[in-house]
Amino acid sequence: MNKSIEKLITTTQALLWERGYVGTSPRAIQDRAGVGQGSMYHHFRTKAELAQAAEERSAAELIEEVRALLDAPGDPLDRVLTYLRRERDVLKGCRIGRLAADPEVVADPALRKPLEHAFGWITERLAALLREAQDCGRLPQEWDAQSLAATVLAVIQGGYVLARAANSPAPFEQAIEGLIALLTNNATAED
Per-residue pLDDT tens for 137-151? 999 999 999 999 999
Structural domain includes residue 25: no
Nearest to 141 by CA among 75, 79, 186, 85: 186
pLDDT > 70 in the chain, percent: 97
pLDDT at 13 over 70: yes
Structural domain includes residue 43: no
Spatial distance between the Cα atoms of 18 and 173, rounded to a whole number of angstroms: 21
Residue 186 pLDDT class (50, 70, 90 cuts): confident
Spatial distance between the Cα atoms of 29 and 18, rounded to a whole number of angstroms: 12
What is the chain's alpha carbon radius of gyration, rounded to the nearest angstrom?
19
Can you give the length of the chain in residues?
191
pLDDT at 191 over 70: no
Quickly list H helices, the chain.
Answer: 3-19, 26-33, 37-43, 47-70, 76-85, 103-107, 109-135, 145-166, 170-185
Per-residue pLDDT tens for 129-139? 999 999 999 99
Q: What is the pTM of this model?
A: 0.91
Structural domain includes residue 90: yes
Q: Whole domain around residue 97: which residue ranges? A: 53-185
pLDDT at 176 over 60: yes
Cα distance between the two ends of the chain: 52
Angle among Cα 172, 176, 181 to the nearest 5 degrees reads 145
Structural domain includes residue 11: no
Spatial distance between the Cα atoms of 27 and 147, rounded to a whole number of angstroms: 42
pLDDT of amino acid 36? 87
| Mean per-residue pLDDT over the chain, rounded | 94
Q: Is the Cβ–Cβ distance between 8 and 33 less than 8 Å?
A: yes
pLDDT of amino acid 190? 45
Per-residue pLDDT tens for 53-81? 999 999 999 999 999 999 999 999 999 99
Residue 118 pLDDT class (50, 70, 90 cuts): very high
Structural domain includes residue 159: yes
Structural domain includes residue 174: yes
**Number of domains observed in the structure of the chain:** 1
Structural domain includes residue 60: yes
pLDDT of amino acid 18? 93
Nearest to 61 by CA among 94, 34, 90, 84: 94
Q: Is the Cβ–Cβ distance between 50 and 12 less than 8 Å?
A: yes
CATH number at residue 80: 1.10.357.10
Structural domain includes residue 26: no
pLDDT of amino acid 188? 56
